[in-house]
Structure 1
Amino acid sequence: MHRGELDQATRLLDDGDKLVAERGAQFGVDWIVLARALLLDAQGRRPEGLDLLRLVWEAAAGLQASASLVLVGGDLARLAVESGDEEGGAQVASELASLVKRSPEDLVVRGRERRARGLVDRDADALEEAAGVFEQLGHRFEAAVVRAERAELLLAQGDTAEATGLFERSLSDYDDIGATFEADRVRARLARLSPSGERRPAPRRAVTGWEALTPTEHEVVEEVCGGRSNPQVAERLGISRRTVEAHLRSIYAKIGVSTRLALAVAYREREPVRS
């Protein structure tokens, strides 16, 4: 999804939904729902994404599932504020603050609470603290997201220079980690701020060949070329068989083959000879 491959993300999430329907709710289902909500937002269907996260939040609160509250809290607060539900966003921030008190050493909880509070209160300092926490944790994507949110806030407050610097830093991180969807949005934002200014060009992204494969697709190739069947690959990677099949279709198209044997041959030809 963060690479802008929304159709592929939809197919993979559909596979996840089918797996849940077949086997019932299990560990990790909150991640699937969060991803679905973010996909809906990316597709311009924010109200649906917000409603979905509200359902998860209410269910998690009823079960006192603090991990799920922390997982969805930051994005729920963002969608609520962007949709004009200031009260709902404030409730999320307050609940996250109570979780911080229970687990003061948990940096993930702290970072998500600071992000939610910064968005709700339009507090640039809280967002700066959140970005610093995520940077400390090594969560580059989340840090870049919060920096872009802080940039938007500073821009609204009239601090164009600092906002531009934050946008540039977020863009650099997005480009480095391959988050093309977010990078394109920030690049467009910078272009509107300074139409005639020089901006970092979008990196050239391979669409065919081995360089075009995603990290997960590389894992699938290694498993398949190691002689494992689709069910075995699915079990080893913790994904569904349908997802393995979807990855293989994408891999075949990028490498220019149509069978597992042809893929294995291409893979071995690519591998350096080992003495």
Structure 2
Amino acid sequence: MLMLERWGRAMARRRWWVIGAALAFLTVGGVWGSLAFGTLITEGLDDPHGDGSRALVRAVLLVVVFGGVAALSLPPTIGGLAVLGAFSALRSAEQEGSSRVGGVYAQAADASYARGRWDEAVAYADRLDQELLANPSISYLHAVAARIAIHRDDRETAEARLRAGGFLNPADQGRWAGASGPVADALALLAESRGDLAESLALRAAYLDLPPGPDRAGRCDEAVYLVRAALAQGEPALAEAAATAVAADPDPSPHRSLVIRFCRALVAADAMELHSVAADFGHSACLHHRALALEEVARVLAEQGDLAGARTACTDALAAWLDLGATWDARRLEARLRSYGVRRGPRTVCRRPAVGWDALTPSERHVAQLLARGMSNPDIAAELFVTRNTVQTHVSRVLTKLQMRSRIELVQQAAAIGETEGR
């Protein structure tokens, strides 16, 4: 991690770091290792301003996030440090005024979403000014924020973000769905949240129109979403087509291999394999995919008549969704299993309130606890491995939701916060 941070700071002065890092990533192999190599060579060496921090962060995130920790041939703990090192390099770029920090924020937002650090994903997206967000190559970040809002049962915010990105024009939705995975997923989620399952499935089916090759391989997650939607709506042939398509693309990355296993297990209704896939997604810190897989374990067991097993899996899936703050997904899961007679008890999933301690997301609660201990923004940033600007965004939201004027009030109420968290 410290080495990666030094790279982020010294890249402009020591070009041999670029070459060394690029060759290291090339040894990883696969699409993402090769892309990381190309990123460092083209952006790190061919940079008239000598600013290679963005290239380094992009390369690390490409391999670790999309290629998976196993792609680095490192133990998971060391791979996790590589992720943290990438964010450490991002902080260095921000503090030193990198001219390309906007692009770094976009990469960090993508990585944070993939890892289930959704508060950080929104914070990074919101750091970009409106002029930059209007750029078609970055405007998809509105869709990243919209996906999170839908998962957290805030459709109003999701619609506002999609509208800001220009994605709600019916005439353009097909084009956007074909061009951007996050936009396609956000539009499909929005349609599903409105109850329009046919429209949601049609948007997801656009994945099959993508030409085979590296670009489609990079959007392999959409195959999982399509298989799930097709099976839920009684379209097994469509589900089989998606599972076949994702397996045909030439990318041996660990993440894509997991996605292929996920799709095949869904089509085969193999609860044991789905449970194994969920565990492997958990090991690689893909928390959203882990929750999806656990939900499907519960659904398959319920369909097969194993209500006791389904109830246990339902409890695990609900915990996974609620850890992400995904109340919409948790309520969907309960509704799906209720038809099989599987209930988790009298307690129900409620919409998150607008103010008060219960209004805070998991990340915001963590920040509030650190604030209550009197920690400064730089200390919190170091504790959470995020940038200081991200911490400031969290602090502002915490104070607004707790209806406090300053962090001093929060420190003064530290005891009450501890009691609330211990409930």
TM class by smaller structure? 0.5 to 0.7
Aligned mate of 2:196, from 22, 45, 57: 45
Structure 1 unaligned segments of length 5 or more: list them.
Answer: 219-235, 238-243, 245-249, 257-264
Q: Does 1:134 align with 2:281?
A: yes
Match of 1:33 in 2: 184
Within a 5 Å distance, the mapping from 1:120-269 to structure 2 comes to 120-188=267-335, 193=341, 198=345, 202=349, 205-209=352-356, 212=359, 254=401, 266-267=405-406, 269=408
Q: Does 1:96 align with 2:275?
A: no
* Displacement after TM superposition at 1:70 (Å): 0.4
Q: State how far apart, in whole Å, the 1-side matches of 2:160 and 2:363 are.
A: 15
Structure 2 unaligned segments of length 5 or more: list them.
Answer: 1-149, 366-388, 413-423
Q: State how far apart, in whole Å, the 2-side matches of 1:156 and 1:18 are.
A: 37
* Displacement after TM superposition at 1:203 (Å): 7.5
With over 3 angstroms needed to count, the CA separation of the structure-2 counterparts of 1:86 and 1:7, relative to structure 1, is same
Number of residues of Structure 1 aligned to a counterpart in Structure 2? 229
Match of 1:112 in 2: 259
Match of 1:61 in 2: 211
SS at match of 2:151: coil
TM score, norm. by length of structure 2: 0.46
Q: State how far apart, in whole Å, the 2-side matches of 1:162 and 1:189 are.
A: 15
1:149-207 CA distances to partner (integer Å, 9 max, x unpaired)? Answer: 11111111111111110001111222222111122233456667366x74556479452
With over 3 angstroms needed to count, the CA separation of the structure-2 counterparts of 1:120 and 1:18, relative to structure 1, is closer
* Displacement after TM superposition at 1:143 (Å): 1.0
With over 3 angstroms needed to count, the CA separation of the structure-2 counterparts of 1:49 and 1:206, relative to structure 1, is closer
What's the C-alpha RMSD, in Å, of the aligned pairs? Answer: 3.8
Q: State how far apart, in whole Å, the 2-side matches of 1:53 and 1:107 are.
A: 23
* Displacement after TM superposition at 1:82 (Å): 1.9
Does structure 2 conserve the Cα–Cα contact (< 8 Å) formed by 1:117 and 1:126?
Answer: no
With over 3 angstroms needed to count, the CA separation of the structure-2 counterparts of 1:140 and 1:39, relative to structure 1, is same
* Displacement after TM superposition at 1:90 (Å): 0.7
Q: State how far apart, in whole Å, the 2-side matches of 1:76 and 1:206 are.
A: 32
Does structure 1 conserve the Cα–Cα contact (< 8 Å) formed by 2:327 and 2:350?
Answer: no
* Displacement after TM superposition at 1:56 (Å): 4.0
Does structure 2 conserve the Cα–Cα contact (< 8 Å) formed by 1:61 and 1:69?
Answer: no
TM score, norm. by length of structure 1: 0.67
Aligned mate of 1:82, from 225, 232, 237: 232
Match of 1:261 in 2: none
Does structure 1 conserve the Cα–Cα contact (< 8 Å) formed by 2:226 and 2:242?
Answer: yes
Match of 1:226 in 2: none
Q: Supply the AA of the counterpart residue of 2:185.
A: L
Q: Does 1:6 align with 2:178?
A: no
Q: Supply the AA of the counterpart residue of 1:148.
A: E
* Displacement after TM superposition at 1:269 (Å): 4.7
Identity among equivalent pairs (%): 27
